[in-house]
Amino acid sequence: MRPEAEGDSEGEESEYFPTEEEEEEEEDDEVEGVEADLSGDGTDYELKPLPKGRKRQKKVPVQEIDDDFFPSSGEEAEASPIGEGGGGGRKVGRYRDDGDEDYYKQRLSPKMPRTLSLHEITDLLETDDSIEASAIVIQPPENATAPVSDEESGDEEGGTINNLPGSLLHTAAYLIQDGSDAESDSDDPSYAPKDDSPDEVPSTSSVQQPPPSRRRKMTKIVCKWKKADLTVQPVAGRVTAPPNDFFTEMRTPTEILELFLDDEVIELIVKYSNLYADSKGVHLGLTSSEFKCFLGIIFLSGYVSVPRRRMFWEQRTDVHNVLVSAAMRRDRFETIFSNLHVADNADLDPVDKFSKLRPLISKLNERCMKFVPNETYFSFDEFMVHYFGRHGCKQFIRGKPIRFGYKFWCGATCLGYICWFQPYQGKNPNTKHEEYGVGASLVLQFSEALTEAHPGRYHFVSNNFFTSIALLDKLSSMGHQATGTVRKDHIDKVPLESDVALKKKERGTFDYRIDGKGNIVCRWNDNSVVTVASSGAGIHPLCLVSRYSQKLKKKIQVQQPNMIKVYNQFMGGVDRADENIDKYRASIRGKKWYSSPLLFCFELVLQNAWQLHKTYDEKPVDFLEFRRRVVCHYLETHGHPPEPGQKGRPQKRNIDSRYDGINHVIVKQGKQTRCAECHKNTAFRCEKCDVALHVKCSVEYHTE
C-alpha cells in the first residue's frame, strides 16, 4: 500500500507512479493471496497474481458483501455520480477505486432478478448452457458473525462448488448475466411463451433507469428423455357421422361440383365481374348460365390443349372444335376472361396481398370443410401453382416439380380431398399462434377450423417444416395427436444416436426416446437417416418393408417402426391432389397476376368433387371421364350457338393441297356462291378444296 500523495483530496484524481520497492511489496502480497483494504472504506479486495510480461490487473471485488450493501425496502440510497465529489471515483495509485458502495449499487441493482439461493443458481448454470453469467453476488450467511472452524472451509486454492460450506450454499444470492436484456429466439419451437414477468426489484440508485422491455419473455422447455415406447390409444376421429344427405340419391358429376360452386359462389363472381367491367366503361352483362359455359371451356382446355386459345374457334379442320365454337363466340369469351373478378377493387384490404381473391377463397374453404369425408388422419403440406410473371408473393423452390409460382398451404385427407387452403404471402396477417413459428401456427389454424366444423379428435401428419415438440404438446392439449418428420433444431437435445453412427450400422437400425409428456422421437436408418416425432404412434408393432440392397444385389426385408409406417401411409394427401390437378390442368392462362390462383380455385373444387364421387358412388369413374362429363353438360346446356345468317371470317385454305394437282374434281353445288378466282357467282365448286369455282377458272386457281 502507498501513502496518500500530496494534493490528493476527495473528488480529485491524481497520477501516482510507485517506486520499485512498492511494486515488489505489492507483488509479494499477490503471490501470498493477501486480502487488503486499499481504499480505507472497509471493502475487501483480492489481488490476483499476474502472468509474466503483463501489467497489474484491476482489483476484483470479493463476492461476499455486507448486509448493508443493499438498502432495505423503502430506503433510498445516497449515491454520488462516479468521478464527481463525495469520494466516488477516487484513485489509489494506478488503480481505480471501485470500492465505492454507490458505484456497485448502480451497477448491480438494475439487473438483479428475484432472490435465489446460491445452490439453486449453480444448478441452473450447470443445466442450462444458454445462460452466460458475469458474476454471482451473495449476501453474508446467517453464521457470518459466528466463529467458523477449519472443517467448514475447503482448500483455498480450489475453485469449484464443492469447496463451499452449506451455510454459503443456502444463503441468498443474485445472478448477474452478460446481456441480461437479450431475448430468446422466438422462432425456435422448443421455446414456449411465458406470461408472468420477473419480480421487480426497486432501484437503489438516484440515476434514472430505462423502462423495462415489453418484449415477451420466452422460457426454454427442458425435457427429460428416456428410452421407452409410447403406449397410447389412437384417436377416434369425428364425434358425429358426416352429413351425407346430399348422397342419398345418385348424383351426376355436375351436381357434385355444384355443391362447391353453388348459386351463392356463382352470383359472387358474376356480380364483381360486371362491377369491374362497368368501372372500365364496358357493358359485360354476364349471367350465371353464361359463366358456367365459360367455365366449361376452361375445364376443356385441360385435356384438349392448343398452342393458342383462339384456335378453338378456327374453321380449319385440324383444330376446329365444334363444341366450343357452337357454345360461345370467341370475342365474347375474351371479354369475359379479361373482366373476371371476385372482389370489389374499391374495398380491398391493404394488409392482405390476396384480397382480390379473399372472398372466393373464404367461401370455397367453407364448402370444402363442410363436405369433408369421415376421416381420422389428415396431412398438411404446401402446394405450388404455376406463375411466371412478377409479384411479391411469387416463390422459387429448387428441386420441386413446379419451381416458380404461388405457394398454398393445404390440409387434406390421405386420398387427396383438400379440406382447407390458404395462400402464402410472406408475413401472415393472421397473428394467431405466431409464437409457435410459421409452420406450426398453420397446422394449429387448420386443426381449429376442422374441429369447429366437425368436433372430434384427429391425427395430423406433416413434414419437418411444420413439426416440432411444441406443436405436439399444443395439439395434445387440444385432444389431438400428430406425427411428422422433424429437424434437429426443432427437438431439444434429445439423446439419440447420431446420424453418422446410424449410417455405419445396417439398414433398419433405429434409436428412440420418449419424454414425460408422451412425445416420442425416433431416428431410423433407411436410404438415409430420418427423424420422426409423434404423440400418437410408437415403435411397436414393428413391420417389415422390402428394400433393394446395392451390396447384395437383391431385395431384402428391413424392419420399420410403426410411427414411420403411419407417416408414410397418411402423409401424401396434398401430393396426390397436386398430381390429380396437374394431370389435366387448364392450359388457358391470363396475363394478370391473379389469373393463375383464380383458375387453381376452380381446379381444386373440381378435384374435390371427384374425390366425393369416388367415396360415395358405387360405380365411380376416373378423373378424366368425370371432367369430360362436366364439360359436355356445361357447354351443351348453357351454350348459345351463333344465330343463323351470321358470317364469320373467311376460312384459311391449305396452300399445299391446293397446288398438288391430285383429285381436284369440279362438281355442281345446290346454291350459287362467289368464285374463289374471279369472284363472280357460280353453281360449281372444287370438291377437294371445298371452294366455289368456275370450270374455266379451275386451271388458274390450282396453278401457282
**Is 619 in the same domain as 672?**
no
Q: Same domain, yes or no, for 632 and 669?
A: no
Share above pLDDT 90 across residues of the chain, in percent, rounded to a whole number: 50
Helices marked H in 478-528: 499-503
Confidence of residue 140 (pLDDT cuts 50, 70, 90): confident
pTM: 0.64
Q: Are residues 623 and 659 in the same domain?
A: no
- The residue ranking higher by pLDDT, 16 or 570, is 570
User: Does 612 share its domain with 662?
Assistant: no
How far is the C-alpha of 500 from the C-alpha of 498, rounded, in Å?
5
* Predicted pLDDT at 412: 97
Q: Which residues contact 541 (CB under 8 A, 6 or more apart)?
A: 562
In a domain, 91, yes or no: yes
Last residue of a domain, one of 86, 111, 136: 111
Q: Is residue 531 a part of any domain in this protein?
A: no
Mean pLDDT of 435-442: 90
In terms of domains, do 89 and 15 share one? yes
**pLDDT attached to residue 187:** 43
- 617 and 681, same domain (yes or no): no
Residues 6 or more apart whose CB falls under 8 angstroms from that of 382 comprise: 407, 408, 409, 410, 424, 465, 574
Higher pLDDT, residue 231 or 20: 231
| Three-state SS letters, 347-405 | HCCCCCCCCCCHHHHHHHHHHHHHCCCCCCEEEEEEEEEECCCCCCCCEECCCCCCCEE
Residues 617 and 695 reside in one and the same domain: no
pLDDT of 118 reads 77
- End-of-domain residue from the set 638, 670, 689: 638
Residue 132 pLDDT = 64
Mean model confidence pLDDT for the chain = 78
Q: Is the pLDDT of residue 392 over 90?
A: no
pLDDT above 70: residue 260: yes
Tell me 168's DSSP state.
H
Query: What total number of domains does the chain contain?
Result: 3
Classify residue 60: in a domain, yes or no.
yes
> Could you count the other beta carbons within 10 Å of the beta carbon of residue 425?
17
Give the domain range for residue 80: 1-111
Both 622 and 660 in a single domain? no
184 has a pLDDT exceeding 60: no
Q: How far is CA 408 from CA 436, 438, 442, in A?
A: 19, 13, 11
**pLDDT, position 199:** 46
For the chain, how many residues are written?
704
pLDDT at 623 over 80: yes
Q: Which of 164-173, 386-395, 397-406 has the lowest mean pLDDT?
A: 164-173
* Whether the predicted pLDDT of 278 surpasses 50: yes
pLDDT for res 469: 93
CA 368 → CA 128, 254, 381, 605, 607, distances in Å? 47, 16, 17, 8, 11
667 and 625 share a domain?
no
Domain boundary among 111, 138, 154: 111
Q: What is the CATH number of the domain that holds 688?
A: 3.30.60
Tens-place pLDDT, residues 214-227: 555 545 556 688 99
**Would you say residue 437 has pLDDT above 50?**
yes
Residue 384 phi/psi, 5° resolution?
-105, 140
Alpha-carbon distance values, 102 to 11, 60, 87, 107, 661 (Å): 14, 16, 10, 9, 114
pLDDT, tens digit (0-9, with 9 covering 90-100), for 296-309? 999 999 999 899 99
| CA dihedral of residues 609, 611, 615, 621 (deg, nearest 10) | 90
How does pLDDT run across 588-606, given as a tens digit for each residue? Answer: 999 899 999 999 999 999 9
Q: Each residue of 105-134: pLDDT tens digit? A: 444 444 444 567 877 777 777 666 666 666
Question: Do 12 and 93 share a structural domain?
Answer: yes
**Predicted pLDDT at 212:** 54
pLDDT at 72: 44
